[in-house]
Structure 1
Amino acid sequence: MSQSPRSLADIRSLLSGLPYSDGPSVKAAQARNGQLTKPPGALGRLEDVAVWMAGWQRTDRPHADTPQVVIFAGNHGVTAQGISAFPPQVTAQMVANFLAGGAAINQLSRVFGARMDVHALELDQPTADFTQGAAMDEAGFLRAFASGWDAVDPGADLLVTGEMGIGNTTAAAAIAHALCGGTPGEWVGRGTGLDDAGLITKARVVGEAVARHADARGIEVLRSLGGRELAAMAGAILRARHLRIPVLLDGFICTAAAACLDAEAPGALDHCLAGHVSEEPGHACLLDRLGKVPLLSLGLRLGEGSGAALAIGVVQGAVACHSGMATFAEAGVSDG
């Protein structure tokens, strides 16, 4: 399906008909890996990453030459409750910075040769305060989801989705709490720099929101507790699955959005690796719940897709070694 989904039923249908990694390509890549001029396992997890890429790209020589980074921006009505250290106007200001090439994500995308796209989603109309009602009605959610679906370049061979949205760590914490349980305090962090009083307020808001939407499941959790940028990231990740494009998940916000797809259809994130684990306290726990081991752990907490963009280099290194190295036979080296 190339056309973006027009209903929640369409999304659920897409989640029930997912393509999977190609087994013969995985076996062929594993066989090639065993013949390369190195001791078995000497490249550690890079070998696993290369074989994983091979399965999704249906080749024994995977590549990561045309990565795409897509940034989605949205504003959140819940910020009126004092859950962020920055005002909502910063979202639009940062979008301007992305477009001018001045943000960290611009530099990282450039370093790894990634196409970078920026989509601002109705910034003049924040989502509803989700302690009072659903963050988005069905039509609004579908518009945002479709924005993500349509943003994916079918020619990309690796995808990173990033975000900008003041207040969106609160949305991510609410989603994680709704999906995984526990207490609100286990999922909230300081975000952009909340003080102790702000952190208490944030935990209260998350608890109230999850209690209000206690009946929500799967993608309804995303509609009720998320934001437009989270819905768009989920749309892009699902489109990438149908295009067989591997995905690197970014931080807590991206992972929370993606987790709603997995909650709706377990295995929906098989085409995703965790690019990194952020300093936001709920991120490591959410990755553990999803069974995702991060490629990097560098204490990052910027968002923007920055941690996952940095991990593009790890994937590029993995596939370069796998696809470019000589076998023992080709190099005339004895393999023992």
Structure 2
Amino acid sequence: MSAIADLTLKSSIQKKIDLKTKPIGALGTLESLALKIGLIQNTETPEISKPTIVIFAGDHGIAAKAEVNPFPQEVTAQMVYNFVNGGAAINIFSNTNAIDLKIVDAGVNHTFPESMGIINAKIAVGTKNYQDQPAMTLEQCQMALDKAGTIVSKIHSNACNTIGFGEMGIGNTSSATLLMSYFTHIPISDCVGSGTGLNAEGIAKKKQILLEVYNKYSPQTPLEALATFGGFEIAMLCGAILKAAELKMTILIDGFIVTAALLAAKAINPNVLDYCIFAHNSSEQGHSKMLDFLNVTPLLSLNLRLGEGTGAALAIPLVQAAVNFLNDMASFEDAGVSTEIEKT
């Protein structure tokens, strides 16, 4: 995809925003949000159509040893069942905000019944343990990118133009940490967080293990780094972001794991950032450093660290509000209000 650089359109959207019945800049971040969505959709009258969140789930080889996470690997499959049964936070937030929710088996170490309605894109029953060998082959990684692109293309063909992504995978904060360090060059020790709830001793052990893993490999390309350190769900997140940007969709970026996938996508094509809106600042300690590296400001800061796309789901109403004020709020001329108010 190409970068968004229509300066004429940018000027006309900004003028439309400035002439609404308010002081210039009075709607703050909503104004820049409206401008960005207008540029993504290449129109002064953007709309949010069929907002959708896709959760990619996958298991990680390192989780089998339970050294970097307090929960057993089986929780990944159990949480997928919870998503399907409507019992997770993402289900509640999606229902609250009229968001379509889709669940993808990217590589869970479990076989789900076809009747459950899960999108089966399984690459394998979990990745390999990168303490011993790369998490996946380059061929598997490319397959994950391609399958995710096909899933996003199908969603887009059903009139969806706004998409967010979530994830589930015990051990995936470790993969995200390794990818974060690789793409940002921030030391592993400054990237590691508590994940699903490690104590201080657990965090120290996690730092030691991940530093050893990081020093074991020397990936030469973004794809090789993703294959070495990633999970199938993270690789699919990367492919989904790339495809959504190619299709000029508005992309809601969630927390630590999704942003790690974005770092890989950005390394493959820097223009993806033009299509991304950052939903929130996760309390997983590495996330704020990622956002600083990308030089972006998230919409929300709610001390979330759940994943699942919950931050993206909570940000959708703000995206809708930005579009609605741009389209429906009266201008000074429409309302017969003196433009002198602009000087107050």
Q: Normalising by the residue count of structure 2, what TM-score does the alignment of the two structures yield? A: 0.89
1:128 maps to which residue?
Answer: 128
Alignment partner for residue 213 of structure 2, among 198, 209, 216? Answer: 209
- In the alignment, the residues of structure 2 paired with residue 221 and residue 23 of structure 1 have an alpha-carbon distance, to the nearest angstrom, of 36
Give CA deviations for 1:303-333 in whole Å, capped at 9, x if unaligned.
Answer: 0010111111111111111111011111121
Alignment partner for residue 281 of structure 2, among 269, 277, 280? Answer: 277
Alignment partner for residue 179 of structure 1, among 178, 183, 186? Answer: 183
1:13 maps to which residue?
Answer: none
2:297 maps to which residue?
Answer: 293
2:17 maps to which residue?
Answer: 33
1:84 maps to which residue?
Answer: 69
How do 1:1-336 residues align onto structure 2 when only pairs under 5 Å count?
A: 17-18=1-2, 20=4, 22-81=6-65, 82-124=67-109, 125-152=125-152, 153-154=155-156, 155-336=159-340
Amino acid at match of 2:88: A
Deviation, structure 1 residue 23: 3.6
Give CA deviations for 1:112-158 in whole Å, capped at 9, x if unaligned.
Answer: 22111000123121101112221111222122222321222212221
Deviation, structure 1 residue 19: 5.2
Amino acid at match of 1:35: L
Deviation, structure 1 residue 276: 0.4
- In the alignment, the residues of structure 1 paired with residue 339 and residue 223 of structure 2 have an alpha-carbon distance, to the nearest angstrom, of 51
Give CA deviations for 1:72-129 in whole Å, capped at 9, x if unaligned.
Answer: 0000001134111101111011111111111111111122221110001231211011
Deviation, structure 1 residue 221: 1.3
CA RMSD of aligned residues (A): 1.4
2:117 maps to which residue?
Answer: none
- In the alignment, the residues of structure 1 paired with residue 54 and residue 15 of structure 2 have an alpha-carbon distance, to the nearest angstrom, of 34
2:119 maps to which residue?
Answer: none
- In the alignment, the residues of structure 1 paired with residue 86 and residue 207 of structure 2 have an alpha-carbon distance, to the nearest angstrom, of 35
Unpaired runs of 5+ in structure 1? 1-16
Deviation, structure 1 residue 21: 5.2
Equivalent pairs, count:
320
Amino acid at match of 1:25: L
- Indicate conservation of the 8 Å contact 2:55/2:167, yes or no: yes
Amino acid at match of 2:133: G
Amino acid at match of 2:2: L
- In the alignment, the residues of structure 1 paired with residue 311 and residue 182 of structure 2 have an alpha-carbon distance, to the nearest angstrom, of 25
- Indicate conservation of the 8 Å contact 1:19/1:242, yes or no: no
Deviation, structure 1 residue 27: 2.2
Give CA deviations for 1:178-203 in whole Å, capped at 9, x if unaligned.
Answer: 12223222111111111222212211
| SS in structure 2 of the partner of residue 121 of structure 1 | strand
Q: Structure 1 167/85 Cα, relative in aligned 2: closer, same or farther at 3 Å?
A: same
- In the alignment, the residues of structure 2 paired with residue 149 and residue 18 of structure 1 have an alpha-carbon distance, to the nearest angstrom, of 17
Amino acid at match of 2:301: S
Amino acid at match of 1:257: A
- In the alignment, the residues of structure 2 paired with residue 334 and residue 245 of structure 1 have an alpha-carbon distance, to the nearest angstrom, of 37
- In the alignment, the residues of structure 1 paired with residue 6 and residue 54 of structure 2 have an alpha-carbon distance, to the nearest angstrom, of 26
- Indicate conservation of the 8 Å contact 2:148/2:240, yes or no: yes
- In the alignment, the residues of structure 1 paired with residue 149 and residue 269 of structure 2 have an alpha-carbon distance, to the nearest angstrom, of 17
Give CA deviations for 1:27-46 in whole Å, capped at 9, x if unaligned.
Answer: 22111112111110010010
Give CA deviations for 1:171-227 in whole Å, capped at 9, x if unaligned.
Answer: 000111112223222111111111222212211221122212223332321111110
- In the alignment, the residues of structure 2 paired with residue 264 and residue 121 of structure 1 have an alpha-carbon distance, to the nearest angstrom, of 21
Unpaired runs of 5+ in structure 2? 110-124
Amino acid at match of 2:30: L
- Indicate conservation of the 8 Å contact 2:3/2:271, yes or no: no
Deviation, structure 1 residue 268: 2.8
Higher deviation after alignment, 104-113 or 277-286: 104-113
- In the alignment, the residues of structure 2 paired with residue 122 and residue 187 of structure 1 have an alpha-carbon distance, to the nearest angstrom, of 25
| SS in structure 1 of the partner of residue 308 of structure 2 | coil
- Indicate conservation of the 8 Å contact 1:19/1:241, yes or no: no
- In the alignment, the residues of structure 2 paired with residue 131 and residue 60 of structure 1 have an alpha-carbon distance, to the nearest angstrom, of 51
Give CA deviations for 1:4-42 in whole Å, capped at 9, x if unaligned.
Answer: xxxxxxxxxxxxx53535443322211111211111001
- In the alignment, the residues of structure 2 paired with residue 147 and residue 199 of structure 1 have an alpha-carbon distance, to the nearest angstrom, of 34
Amino acid at match of 2:46: P
- In the alignment, the residues of structure 2 paired with residue 156 and residue 315 of structure 1 have an alpha-carbon distance, to the nearest angstrom, of 14
- Indicate conservation of the 8 Å contact 2:107/2:127, yes or no: no
- In the alignment, the residues of structure 1 paired with residue 99 and residue 131 of structure 2 have an alpha-carbon distance, to the nearest angstrom, of 38
